[in-house]
Amino acid sequence: MLSDKERQLYQAYFKTEIPYYTKQLEKYDETGRCSFNFYALLFGMLWMAYRKMYREIAFYFLIFLCAEFLQKMATQFALIPADRSEMISLIVSLILGIVLGMYANQLYIAKCKREILGLIDLTDREEHLTNAVAAKGGIQPWAPVLLFFIIIVVQYLLVIAAATTG
In whole numbers, what is the pLDDT of the chain averaged over residues? 92
Tell me: the pLDDT tens digits for 69-106?
898 888 888 888 888 888 988 999 999 999 999 999 99
**Please, what's the b/e burial string for 120-145 (b: 16 or more CB within 10 A of its CB; e: otherwise)?**
eeeeeeeeebbebbeebbeeeeebbe
Q: How many domains are there within the chain?
A: 1
pLDDT at 166 over 70: no
The DSSP annotation for 52-107 comes to T-HHHHHHHHHHHHHHHHHHHHHHHTTSS-GGGHHHHHHHHHHHHHHHHHHHHHHH
pLDDT at res. 83: 87
| Structural domain harbouring 80 | 4-165
Tell me: the pLDDT tens digits for 18-34?
999 999 999 999 999 99
